[in-house]
């Protein structure tokens, strides 16, 4: 659909940027913090790029005032960050570490003082190691109970200061990378355990939402999901059906539970046929039905293209796309999984790719938002969107990143088109504010508006240097998005 005129962004639209505790804070064992599964995982040789870890990261723990001052300079309206669970409760379920709570209280106070709305993420992948050791992490129902107690601490201490809260960040990603691809902790390739853990996480999410509505009735809470729309490779009805199957396994399997309180019947039946469906008790069903998010956080990077499975019907014209992708649950040859016979993934010949092979698809952003609005009819908060690239620091200490500006410009215009289509959007948080530690790619893969001068081996002085994109986004915020489509 072509709009002659685009609606303006809402008057109170929250222009923001995002981060995650493990990727920026450092201070991994300071002031009483306990180890997380990522602290442990990154110490095992070969698990991360050039043995990078979050022991120092970009030292946000000690430099948060400097970082917030840069947010103020940019004009940022909102900042999404996560809390390290093991900084609040070192063993995951025991005594509260007051020094850890105090850090986040100071961070929130500084954000508010500088006019930046805090958006607090409760879980961004750094489970306390003690819970992994004691209960097998998310495979144990005890971990869901511990999560609820941890959330209570934050709701009680910060509920009057923080309006927007995110429960889980990209549940689809951390479960698949941790339990399917063995690329994240706990480093498993076990589908039965993946689906079991995913169910426990759903229960934890529901417990947190219910408790929040009890303790912070004036606030808003919801999960953050990594959504990628599925396209059919062609108009062949078999490819269209494959895309429907891919959409069900990749997206509806998670979003139906969040928004409708139940698993989609199609996917659950296919899992049950092969003994992979999670055990759902009547009490579980009641809990999932009761929990209603106030909004959906959506992380968008790219979608996927599905074709009829080449195991069933070979085609020389179709190129199978077998890259391990955290946003796509595609089949692996020889793997015993139901989607293996239902869809295969393919490269989209119409899209360019990033330095890391991720397809660049701004229009898919609009497609995703339209689908989500139609299926779930909740306000949407874009909690992540951005470009990971290799940035070059010039001799005069500047970063010229027109590729990032182009990427964000194209995606934000599609966002504005989605608003004009009728999608209800609260705000947009670019990933990320500063450069940060990539989970598996160290410091070579940079997303930030602010360059941090360090590499995989050398921390240097961790100097903060605004990139060209910093000043571009500053103008976008100043004009409430009008600069995106203004004549130049």
Q: Which residues are catalytic?
A: 384
Q: What are phi and psi of 454, to 5 degrees?
A: -155, 165
Report how far Cα 457 is from the mean position of its chain's Cα atoms.
27
Count CA within 13 A, CB hemisphere, residue 202.
30
**What's the CA gap between 279 and 288, in Å, rounded?**
13
Q: Are strands 230-232 and 425-431 parallel, antiparallel or unpaired?
A: unpaired
**What's the CA gap between 357 and 321, in Å, rounded?**
11
Question: Encoding tokens for residue 433?
Answer: 């504010």
From the list 399, 429, 299, the residue with the least C-alpha distance to 358 is 299
Residue matched to tokens 């989970």? 439
Burial of 298 (0-12, 13-18, 19+ CB in 10 A): buried
Residue matched to tokens 């998005």? 481
**Residues near 345 by Cβ (< 8 Å), separated by ≥ 6?**
246, 304, 305, 306, 307, 320, 321, 322, 325, 328, 330
Helix (H) or strand (E) holding 18: strand 14-18
> Please, which residues bridge with residue 123 across strands?
168
Count CA within 13 A, CB hemisphere, residue 417.
20
Question: Encoding tokens for residue 382?
Answer: 């874009």
**What's the CA gap between 411 and 179, in Å, rounded?**
31
**Residues near 22 by Cβ (< 8 Å), separated by ≥ 6?**
36, 38, 54, 57, 84, 124, 125, 126, 437
**What's the CA gap between 375 and 239, in Å, rounded?**
22
């Amino acid at each position: 659909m072509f709009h002659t005129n685009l609606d303006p962004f809402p008057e109170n639209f929250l222009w923001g940027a995002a981060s995650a505790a493990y990727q920026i804070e450092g201070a991994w064992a300071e002031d009483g913090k306990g180890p997380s599964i990522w602290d442990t995982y990154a110490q095992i040789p070969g698990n991360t790029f050039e043995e990078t870890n979050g022991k120092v990261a970009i030292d946000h723990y000690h430099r948060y005032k400097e970082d917030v001052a840069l947010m103020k300079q940019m004009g940022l309206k909102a900042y999404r960050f996560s809390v390290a669970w093991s900084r609040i409760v070192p063993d995951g379920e025991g005594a509260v570490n007051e020094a850890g709570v105090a850090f986040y209280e100071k961070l929130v106070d500084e954000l508010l003082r500088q006019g930046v709305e805090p958006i607090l993420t409760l879980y961004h992948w750094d489970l306390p190691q003690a819970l992994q050791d004691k209960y097998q992490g998310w495979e144990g129902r005890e971990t869901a109970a511990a999560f609820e107690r941890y959330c209570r601490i934050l709701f009680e201490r910060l509920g009057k200061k923080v309006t927007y809260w995110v429960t889980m960040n990209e549940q689809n990603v951390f479960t698949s990378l941790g339990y399917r691809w063995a690329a994240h902790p706990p480093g498993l390739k076990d589908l039965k355990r993946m689906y079991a853990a995913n169910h426990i996480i759903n229960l934890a999410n529901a417990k947190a939402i219910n408790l929040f509505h009890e303790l912070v009735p004036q606030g808003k809470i919801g999960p953050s999901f990594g959504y990628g729309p599925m396209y059919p490779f062609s108009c062949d009805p078999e490819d269209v059906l494959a895309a429907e199957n891919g959409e069900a396994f990749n997206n509806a399997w998670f979003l139906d539970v969040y928004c409708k309180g139940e698993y989609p019947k199609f996917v659950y039946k296919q899992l049950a046929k092969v003994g992979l469906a999670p055990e759902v008790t009547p009490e579980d069903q009641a809990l999932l039905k009761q929990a209603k998010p106030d909004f959906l956080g959506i992380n968008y990077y790219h979608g996927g293209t599905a074709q009829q499975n080449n195991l069933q019907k070979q085609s020389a014209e179709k190129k199978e796309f077998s890259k391990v992708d955290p946003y796509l649950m595609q089949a692996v040859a020889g793997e015993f999984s139901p989607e293996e016979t239902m869809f295969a993934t393919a490269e989209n010949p119409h899209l360019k790719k990033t330095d890391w092979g991720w397809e660049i698809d701004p229009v898919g952003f609009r497609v995703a938002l339209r689908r989500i609005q139609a299926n779930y009819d909740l306000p949407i908060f874009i909690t992540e969107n951005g470009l990971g690239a290799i940035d070059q620091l010039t001799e005069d200490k500047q970063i010229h990143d027109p590729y990032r500006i182009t990427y964000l410009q194209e995606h934000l215009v599609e966002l504005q088109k989605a608003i004009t289509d009728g999608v209800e959007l609260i705000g947009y948080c670019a990933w990320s504010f500063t450069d940060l530690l990539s989970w598996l790619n160290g410091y070579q893969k940079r997303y930030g508006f602010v360059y941090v001068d360090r590499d995989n081996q050398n921390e240097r002085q961790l100097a903060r240097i605004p990139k060209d994109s910093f000043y571009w986004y500053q103008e976008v915020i100043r004009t409430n998005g009008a600069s995106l489509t203004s004549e130049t």
